[in-house]
Amino acid sequence: MSAGFPIAGPAGWAVEVFGYPGTRGPAGAPPVVGLLTGPTVALSRVLVLDAGIVTGIAGTQPTMWYVGVTWNIGQLAGRSSGARRLADFGL
């Protein structure tokens, strides 16, 4: 489950709780539940920088830092072509 929300101007915050099921057998591992959270900065309508921490809630999830870029590749098609496709589906 994840959520992102604006804070002020281009700044925002993201939070996500994730999990992996446990496995059996000789190389089995217990279930993992983790938390990812950190700030985001929108550089434009299609480009966002993000950074933060991932930490374990349950299981063997190690704590780590991340830095990334998110790009809305759907904007390559342009607004008008996207609007036509949505209209084709009655949206």
Dump pLDDT digits (tens) for 2-22.
999 999 999 999 999 999 999
> What's the mean pLDDT in 62-72?
92
> Model's pTM, two decimal places?
0.69
Q: What is the CATH number of the domain that holds 11?
A: 3.30.1300
Number of domains composing the chain? 1
pLDDT at position 73 is 79
Q: What is the pLDDT of residues 21-37, one digit of tens each?
A: 999 999 888 999 999 99
**Residue 13 lies in domain:** 2-88
> Buried (b) or exposed (e) across 54-63, using 16+ Cβ within 10 A?
beeeeeebee
